[in-house]
Chains A and B, each alone.
Chain A
Amino acid sequence: MGLGLLASRTLKTSRILSSQYSRFRPIVTKPGLQSPDASAAAPATQPEPTPPPPKKPVGGARFHFTNPDDALEVFVDGFPVKIPKGMTVLQACEIAGVDIPRFCYHSRLSIAGNCRMCLVEVEKSPKPVASCAMPALPGMKIKTDTPLAKKAREGVMEFLLMNHPLDCPICDQGGECDLQDQSMAFGSDRGRFTEMKRSVVDKNLGPLVKTVMTRCIQCTRCVRFATEVAGVQDLGMLGRGSGEEIGTYVEKLMTSELSGNVIDICPVGALTSKPFAFKARNWELKGTETIDVTDAVGSNIRIDSRGPEVMRILPRLNEDINEEWISDKTRFCYDGLKRQRLNDPMIRDANGRFKAVSWRDALAVVAEVALQVKPEEIVGIAGKLSDAESMMALKDLLNNMGSNNVWCEGTGTSPNADLRYRYLMNSSIAGLEKADVFLLVGTQPRVEAAMVNARIRKTVRASNAKVAYIGPPTEFNYDCQHLGTGPQTLIEIAEGRHSFCSAISNAKNPAIIVGAGLFERDDKDAIFAAVEAIAKNGNVIRPDWNGFNVLLLNAAQAAALDLGLVPESSNSIESAKFLYLMGADDVNLDKVPADAFVVYQGHHGDQSVYRANVILPSAAFSEKEGTYENTEGCSQQTLPAVPTVGDARDDWKIIRALSEVAGIRLPYDTLGAIRSRMRTVAPNLLNTDEIEPAAFGPSLSLDCSQKISSTPFKAAVENFYMTDSITRASKIMAQCSAMLLKK
């Protein structure tokens, strides 16, 4: 609302003025200038001028006062704002609802203060001050739209644009570029620079990040991101003055699993996505807010698509899960969605060749075989990427057929699905920040869940938390103590013979993270009993703190265990005559009898498809609506961003159709109906975006009759970049693993 409008409203409400102005209406907003006597009368009669409504904080900025005494009051453009102590001037302005232009300042990185774009005028200060680096002091009078501040910004912008190339039409950042936007909003309309522009040699940062270093404005956000968040010392600043450059000191690729995030934080087009380069302009894209399924974290992403094609994947802000970062696998796996797709139902004929058939024929063949075999010989395996709805339908279908041999790959042969806390990250991902000692058992969070690793690193940096791990020697991007490689060390700690015991018992909030790779071991129960003994001795599980965590490996696991996808017998796959694989590609199919009839329902022709007798094409996560539960027990829903390919259908619809052909009709026809069926089994799956904490009974200790074996723990994920059918189909991921992991 403009001031003029406000003034005219005040005039309308004030009766005395309206009688005076009944004959001639004021056009200007300052009535005092028009008639001196009216202005003299106005202050006497008018109540005090209504202040304009306070602006909302920029971008929904949140803050809370930990201690009410720490609040201090500053004035931003004349309006008082209460802020906690220790905030900078820029943050105070944000809370006051004034957006300060900035390039180098990023709320999740340390403060550099080198771009000088955030200059504001502070009363009694001789020069404009860089607001991002200036702590707000009580009673400070900050002015953000004075001629001095404006002139300072214009000057800074002119200097920044001096060496910045004018290639916005061919720049991939064009349209979402901070420099473009801010030069429109705060820059001058002309420059005085007539000399030659500087040019900088491009650096090779690997297969993911494209560099056009001439565009760089030396904000050093990427350098700070690499050292602080990603934990690699790859990027740095070279040279001084106009020769200043960002680069790797020697010719070196950026080997971080979070390297893609520098694309997002770069305010200009210096660091852009290499696979996305020149593929689309960002205003052509349709964004769909959905969930990532390549690991068990469930990072919040936005899929940008153009027509039927996924063009790129960007992170979405979720403070509890991924903050605003995503891993490279999440960001760049999308080209796997366009390769090796199954698009027609196929039947293997007598010669062993696949032939494309209609859905009717394919389902008829499957139903006929399924009804012929004995119920105990029917086995169903859900894949890593399955959504909860389809797993529910699969379980219902197989149960109706009389079999209960249905499970999700990666959970082992006898998973502990009875107690939720034994397969969830109980302290939640955001809660890990409270921990001060970490014990990682048989897990490598850096490759298994990069976002959890980033959270642990954040904790280590912020509070010097101590981290120790048991497992194969690996590289961590924070200080980490290697205790041992196998269960022996675990037993030593459990029995109190290890030196690390004192660290756990002395810690305020100790956290134990157990890798889901241990689910596959035969002595799984014994290992979990040992871990629970450690938890008991170290007082890890308390009413106010639950530090017992299981880090799951894939997106379907938590929901599968919640829905009770547990095999009835551990060796059912050896006696299977009818095997239904719902996207299960990492199952060892060597033990499947040769005469078994294998149905593969999935979206990629990956590993299991070669053993299949019938292929039923289904939708990938970017093409369907489904519920996924992440490792901390927070269920989230995906939304379809692009249409399905070819003749593919949603997973649960295929199973529903098959049930009808087989004559055992499942009682749901819509997603809503299948969700209400899910509510009866696992109601927490329907409370989306909410963590459902596991109920914990301390009396229910694991009675372990198993003998713990001495085999050392194995790495659960061999290759970070290729873990499931989508990433294995991706060319970019293949390049990454070849160049960055040398595999």
Chain B
Amino acid sequence: MATTVVKSALQAIRERGLRTFLRELKDDGFTKCFFDGNLLQTKIHNIGATVVGVDKFGNKYYEKLGDTQAGRHRWVEYAKKDRYDASQVPPEWHGWLHFITDHTGDELLMLKPKRYGVEHKENLSGKGNEFIYHSKGHALNPGQRDWTRYQSWQPTKAE
């Protein structure tokens, strides 16, 4: 396995040049692997797995059937390498990822209602009040409803 990895890496260097290869390595998060064991494990896992789909955020969904343990044969590699969490998975992929359905997110996206289906937003708790979702009546919601039940007199209309 290790030899195939080295071989493919060497081939890539030969085809695209060392600089491009290194930049791609960085973009794919391989440089982060040294500090993030979780990501390293995902990367190792990815070897030999098939990419089932990529959602609109760039999260990649892998599947590997055969020798993997049942229940651990579907996983996601998040697009964000530095700050990732499960809320970044959009609802159409959630079902596939958690073995609720065998339909991939691309297939389920067809069912999304056009008129009122809202865009998925990741959970930004702890990121500051301006990022967090606030419900309609929340005091921090910039678009909150006006609860004053009277009209005040406007002095500009004077005489």
Contact = CB atoms under 8 A, between A and B. Distances in A.
A341 B158 contact: no
Interface stretch (A31-39, A135-143, A604-612): A604-612
B158 A340 contact: no
B131 interface: no
Interface in B103-159: 148-156, 158-159
Interface in B39-77: none
B45 to A, nearest CB: 57
B159 A341 contact: no
A307 B149 contact: yes
A513 B108 CA distance: 83
A309 B146 CA distance: 14
A342 B155 CA distance: 10
A341 B152 contact: yes
Contacts of B158: 352-354, 610
Interface string A437-480: 00000000000000000000000000000000000000000000
Nearest to A309: B149
A342 B152 contact: yes
Nearest to B149: A309
Contact of A604 (B149, B153, B154, B156): B153
A553 B83 CA distance: 74
A127 interface: no
A498 interface: no
B155 to A, nearest CB: 3
Contacts of A342: 152-153
Contact of A339 (B150, B155, B159): B150
A26 interface: no
Nearest to B158: A610
A683 interface: no
Interface string A335-374: 0011111111010000011100000000000000000000
A337 B153 CA distance: 12
B153 to A, nearest CB: 3
Contacts of B159: 610
Contacts of A344: 152
Contacts of B148: 645
Nearest to B157: A605
B76 to A, nearest CB: 47
B155 A341 contact: no
Contacts of B150: 308-309, 337-339, 341, 343, 645
Contacts of A604: 153
B153 A338 contact: no
A285 to B, nearest CB: 14
B152 A338 contact: no
Nearest to B152: A343
A341 B148 CA distance: 12
Interface string A295-310: 0000000000001110
A646 interface: yes
Nearest to A341: B150
Nearest to A352: B158
Nearest to A353: B155
B159 to A, nearest CB: 6
A645 B153 CA distance: 12
Contacts of A646: 152
Contact of B153 (A308, A340, A352): A340
Interface in A711-729: none
Contacts of A352: 158
B155 A338 contact: no
Residue with the greatest number of chain A CB neighbours at <10 A, chosen from B148, B151, B153, B159: B153
A341 B149 contact: no
A308 B149 CA distance: 7
B155 A346 contact: yes
A664 B152 CA distance: 32
B151 A340 contact: yes
Nearest to A339: B151
Nearest to A310: B149
A646 B151 CA distance: 10
A433 to B, nearest CB: 41
B158 to A, nearest CB: 5
Interface string A313-338: 00000000000000000000000011
A578 B152 CA distance: 26
Contacts of A308: 149-150
A454 to B, nearest CB: 32
Nearest to A602: B153
A609 B152 CA distance: 13
B80 to A, nearest CB: 45
A31 B153 CA distance: 76
Nearest to A348: B155
Interface in A175-193: none
Nearest to B151: A339
Contacts of A339: 150-151
Contacts of A346: 155
Nearest to B156: A353
B115 to A, nearest CB: 27
A344 B148 CA distance: 14
A99 B89 CA distance: 66
A557 to B, nearest CB: 26
A276 to B, nearest CB: 15
A721 B18 CA distance: 89
Contacts of B155: 346, 353-354, 605
A445 B76 CA distance: 83
A711 to B, nearest CB: 32
A352 B156 CA distance: 10
A646 B152 CA distance: 9
Interface of B: 148-156, 158-159
20 contacts: A307-B149, A309-B149, A338-B149, A339-B150, A339-B151, A340-B153, A341-B152, A343-B153, A344-B152, A353-B155, A353-B156, A354-B158, A604-B153, A605-B154, A605-B155, A609-B153, A610-B159, A645-B148, A645-B150, A646-B152
Q: Which 6 A-B pairs have the closest CB atoms?
A: A605-B153, A354-B155, A309-B149, A338-B150, A343-B152, A340-B153
Given A338-B149, A353-B156, A645-B148, 14 more contacts: A309-B150, A338-B150, A338-B151, A339-B151, A340-B152, A341-B153, A342-B153, A344-B152, A346-B155, A353-B158, A354-B158, A605-B154, A609-B153, A610-B158
